[in-house]
């Protein structure tokens, strides 16, 4: 089985792919767009994409890509993100003047970097920053990435667990061409639009409250081509194949201008 992810080998997304799918062949992709294209074209069987981080919030680009592609969410996974400060062999902590990494990783370690007087410099990927550092041979810089990235590129870890908050988790979604029928406790992700009239969102959300369906996530995104109008993404506990959830979605369809179910999938139990 081939699983695509964004980043270089050793990225957190690749680690999540191994954790979730098991023994698979991973397909590194430079961008999130190419991750989706890889599944659509059949170059990979599925993909694992980050959708939100417990500290930094949602990855909005992937919400937009879920809407643009005819793929289904088939699972979710929560990864505990543990950042390491990584350098070329022989480099000491006192030598490090700057740290390079993905903007989100830099933000999650901002307090640590400030306390040591280290300047942050953005890169496109955590594992990619380790690869760049190795290729440059720089002795005054370090990268922030996973322990596995350091092992892959033969680099040294100066310090582990440098994130400012230990409650640092990233939620990933597994996507593929064919949907699944989840067994046991499930979640469903949907996206819809509404008329811009008073009470529209209240009525939309009431279809879940009336049936005691738990909403675990709500996100609004701009509706392209229509300034100041929005798409609403919702995750709720339940499967579209259950009668209660079906009735809620049918009821929502009475208010929504458009409604699409992105997938029903097993709820992750950490």
Domain boundaries of the chain, sorted by first residue: 2-80+170-176, 84-160, 186-266
> What is the topology classification, in CATH, of domain 186-266?
Alpha-Beta Plaits (3.30.70)
pTM of the complete model: 0.91
* pLDDT at residue 56 in the model: 80
CATH architecture of the region 84-160? 3-Layer(aba) Sandwich (3.40)
* pLDDT at residue 173 in the model: 98
5: annotated active-site residue: no
* pLDDT at residue 9 in the model: 94
Distance between CA 144 and CA 83 in Å, rounded? 6
> How far apart, in Å, are the Cα atoms of 238 and each of 21, 32, 188?
23, 28, 6
The active-site residue, picked from 26, 126, 170, 193, is 170
* pLDDT at residue 142 in the model: 98
pLDDT in tens, the chain (270 residues): 999 999 999 999 999 999 999 999 999 999 999 999 999 999 999 999 999 988 888 999 999 999 999 999 999 999 999 999 999 999 999 999 999 999 989 999 999 999 999 999 999 889 999 999 999 999 999 999 999 999 999 999 999 999 999 899 999 999 999 999 999 999 999 999 999 899 999 999 999 999 999 999 999 999 888 888 899 999 999 999 999 999 999 999 999 999 999 999 999 987
Instruction: Say whether 186-266 and 84-160 share the same fold.
Output: no
Q: Identify which of 36, 24, 42, 1 has the alpha carbon closest to the alpha carbon of residue 173.
A: 36
CATH 3.40.190.10 fits domain 2-80+170-176: yes
The active-site residue, picked from 5, 21, 32, 172, is 172
170: annotated active-site residue: yes
């Amino acid at each position: 089985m081939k699983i695509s992810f964004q980043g270089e080998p050793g990225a957190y997304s690749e680690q999540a792919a191994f954790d979730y799918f098991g023994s698979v062949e991973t397909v590194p992709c430079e961008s999130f767009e190419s991750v989706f294209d890889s599944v659509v074209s059949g170059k990979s069987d599925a993909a694992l994409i980050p959708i939100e981080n417990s500290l930094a919030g949602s990855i909005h680009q992937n919400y937009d890509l879920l809407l643009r592609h005819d793929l289904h969410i088939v699972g979710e996974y929560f990864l505990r993100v543990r950042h390491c400060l990584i350098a070329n062999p022989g480099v000491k902590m006192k030598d490090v003047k700057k740290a390079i990494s993905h903007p989100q990783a830099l933000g999650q370690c901002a307090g640590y970097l400030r306390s040591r007087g280290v300047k942050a410099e953005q890169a496109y990927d955590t594992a990619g920053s380790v690869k760049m550092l190795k290729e440059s041979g720089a002795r005054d810089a370090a990268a922030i990435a996973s322990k596995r990235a350091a092992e892959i590129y033969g680099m040294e870890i100066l310090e582990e667990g440098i994130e400012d908050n230990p409650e640092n988790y990233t939620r990933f979604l597994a996507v593929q061409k064919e949907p699944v029928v989840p067994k046991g406790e499930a979640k469903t992700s949907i996206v819809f639009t509404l008329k811009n009239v008073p009470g529209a969102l209240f009525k939309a959300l009431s279809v879940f409250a009336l049936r005691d369906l738990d909403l675990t996530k709500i996100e609004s995104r701009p509706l392209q081509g229509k300034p100041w109008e929005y798409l609403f993404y919702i995750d709720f506990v339940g499967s579209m194949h259950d009668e209660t959830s079906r009735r809620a979605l049918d009821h929502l369809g009475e208010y929504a201008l458009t409604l699409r179910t992105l997938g029903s999938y097993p709820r992750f139990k950490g």
